[in-house]
Amino acid sequence: MNVIAWKTLAAFAAQYPDALEPLDHWFKQVRRADYTCFADVREDFGSVDWVGGFLVFNIGGNKYRLIVFPIDNELS
């Protein structure tokens, strides 16, 4: 998964400090992973959903949602 910028996530965490730790965990995990299918993502993030071509991650115990579009729909 190609994360474009931590800057956007950090700006969100500046407004919602309780999101910083779970966003940091998410960011580090997806940067080092090489997901080839949705099942691979689900192994790391059991609560992730596939909705209309987007990955929807629950952040901070489902307090926040992070919606991700896989490049070239690589996980479909």
Predicted confidence (pLDDT) per residue in 3-41, tens digit: 668 899 999 999 999 999 999 999 999 989 988 899 999
pLDDT for the residue 71: 74
| Residue 64, H or E segment | strand 64-68
Single pTM value for the model: 0.85
pLDDT for the residue 49: 96
Q: How far apart are CA 21 and CA 47, in angstroms?
A: 17
User: In terms of C-beta density within 10 A (0-12 exposed, 13-18 middle, 19 or more buried), how is residue 35 classed?
Assistant: middle
Instruction: Give the rounded distance of the alpha carbon of 1 from its chain centre.
Output: 9
Q: How far apart are CA 42 and CA 37, in angstroms?
A: 9
